[in-house]
Amino acid sequence: MKASPIVVLAVAGFLGVLPSQSESCSPLDNVKITFFGYPDNSPPGAGIAWSNCGHSLAGGTGSYDDPITFATATDGDFKVCDVVYLPYLRKYARYEDDCEQCKEDWDSSKEYHIDLWTGSTYSNGGDTQIDCENSLPGGPQTIVRDPAKDLPTDTTPFFSDGICNKKTYEIGEGGDLCTGTGSSTPYHEKEWARTDIVRVGRPLSGSVL
């Protein structure tokens, strides 16, 4: 995947409430973010490698209580069921599936790579959904490991009823990734080119790589 410009990230306490900080919270920079969904899962559908984290199928809204499924390297630094927070999307995500390309990236260069679920649990968005995934804001981003439970969230789906949501958040000076405090800037939308993305996820056999 061609690296998209790095968005300067943090989370704003726009609700006027100071979220509690996780004792072990730690930002992680330069994480490659890609997207997958029903039509380009492997095999197509909403099946996941691990259904013991809270979802029986890929899904999630992005809240702490219902994080979005993400896939990553099975031999990487994340543990199954780990929850992370993506400040630039204001969404929580949970490790519930495997990803072959993520594994290759980790094995070759120890590059962190997570693949975010775009939906739907039960319906195939076809080429329209894949086109949406290819335009979503990916590239190297900052995420938060062991995040607080009450950071600002945006639960708008990435893709729903043919509509592609490309909203991201930029953060003002002085923001704190672990507490969600700082100055907020409005939504903005931007096209992000992905020229060499290869969809990878669970092998057709369902075995873990």
Least confident of 95-99, 151-155, 172-176, 202-206: 202-206
Highest mean pLDDT among 111-115, 123-127, 177-181: 111-115
∠ CA(196), CA(197), CA(198), 5° rounding?
115
Average pLDDT of span 59-88: 96
pTM over 0.85: no
Average pLDDT of span 105-120: 96
pLDDT of residue 24: 80
Distance (Å, whole) CA 89 – CA 67: 12
> Do 138 and 192 form a contact (C-beta atoms < 8 A)?
yes
For 152, the token pair is 């600002």
pLDDT of residue 23: 54
What does the buried/exposed string (b/e) look like for 15-40 if buried means 16 or more CB atoms within 10 Å of the residue's CB?
Answer: eeeebebbeebebeeebbbbbbbbbb
Phi (first) and psi of residue 198, to 5 degrees: -120, 120
Residue 155 above 80 pLDDT? yes
Highest mean pLDDT among 18-22, 88-92, 197-201: 88-92
Least confident of 31-40, 56-65, 112-121, 167-176: 167-176
Average pLDDT of span 94-121: 96
Q: What is the number of other CB atoms lying within 10 angstroms of the CB of residue 131?
A: 12
Residue 58 above 70 pLDDT? yes
Q: Which helix (H) or strand (E) holds 164?
A: strand 163-164
pLDDT of residue 177: 80
